[in-house]
Each structure stands twice: as C-alpha cells, then as structure tokens.
Amino acid sequence: MQEASEGSDREYAAFALRHQPILFAVARNICGRGANECDDLVQDVLLRALLKWDKLQEWSEPAKRAWLVRVLHNRFLDRCRRRGTETAQVLGLSNVHKLFEDPEAPDPELWECVTEAELREAVCSLPPNLRRTFELHAQGLRHAEIGQQLGAPVGTVGTWLFHARHRLREKLRGSAEARRERGRG
C-alpha cells in the first residue's frame, strides 16, 4: 500500500515539475505583477492539483494542462474579487494587447500604436453579436456567463469571440503598422 502511495507521490512530483513552467508563464501573462503574486498563484494551483490528484491521474496530458490553466485563471479572478480590485475592464490602451493573445499575432508593441479612438471605432464596427460578445469578455465574463446573457451555447460564444478578435486584428493592423513606421522615421 505504501509503495503505491510513494509511486503516486513521484508521479505527482514529476507532473508538477513538468507543468510548473507553463503555469508561471500564464501567471506572468495575466498578473502583470511581481514574482510573488505569480509564485502564490502557481503554488495554489499545484496544491489544488495535489488534492485532486486521484482523479487527475486518469486524465490525458492535454486535459490536465487545460484544467491547470483554467484553475489558475479562476484563482486569479477570485483573488481580484477578494481584493475588490476587479472592476469592469474598460477597453483601452492599457489592455488592448489582450485582443491579440494569439501565437500568430504581431508583437505586442505594434498595438501600442493603436489609438483609443481607433479601437473604439473598430469594436463599434463589429456585427452586434460579435461586438457584445467581445465587450462582455473584455469585462471579464467567462464564456458560459456570456452565453447565458446572450442566449447562446458556450461553443458559439467561443466562435464569436474568435471572429471578433480576428476582425479587430485585421481592422487595426494597418493603421498600427503605419503609425509605428511614422514613429521610427
């Protein structure tokens, strides 16, 4: 019995070591704060994984990774709510980079060249379902919450959000590149 427990402990330790870099990268991305905040979040997520290890062991690697990232995101939001610092996010220059969290997206510094007026105009130009989905997501709502408000399935919300981001990237890319080039010259 003890050998099985030790084997499970070793498996968890290997799992934690394997996923810790991913969790730190995600934590740094969403926190925008110092290392202590990231450390605390990652440790909290790994503790939750340890407590649920009996069930997690049976899952595939991608499912485990997705669960870890979702828990990290949820714990971050919980901490913000607890601190009372979470307010409805206003789409502005300080968080426009969130539009482009896509591996194919250009470097974030390009989007520092987008004016707030251009961003607002681009969001307003979206079809109503894409615009409302994007606005609700920018306020911090999850796909399920957005779906409830809009009367749409979660998968549809994800698709709408994907299309909204894509259209915004396409609409804003040209003016951002032109402004960046003018700034270099």
| Segments of the chain assigned to CATH 1.10.10.10 | 96-184
Q: Is residue 49 helix, strand or coil? A: helix
| Segments of the chain assigned to CATH 1.10.1740.10 | 2-83
Structure tokens at 56: 């997690």
Residue 88 confidence (pLDDT): 44
Q: Which CATH class is domain 2-83?
A: mainly alpha
Range scoring the smallest mean pLDDT among 1-10, 35-44, 88-97: 88-97
Taking the CA atoms of the chain, what radius of gyration do you get in angstroms? 20
Query: Mind listing the pLDDT tens digit for each residue in 115-170?
Result: 778 888 888 999 999 999 988 888 778 888 999 999 999 889 888 988 888 888 88
The pLDDT > 90 percentage for the chain reads 9
Pick the CATH number of 96-184 from 1.10.10.10, 3.40.50.920, 3.40.50.720, 1.10.3210.10: 1.10.10.10
| Dist. CA 171–CA 121, nearest whole Å | 10
Query: In this predicted model, which residue has the larger pLDDT, 60 or 37?
Result: 60
- Give the global pTM: 0.44
The three-point CA angle 144-50-60 to 5° equals 60
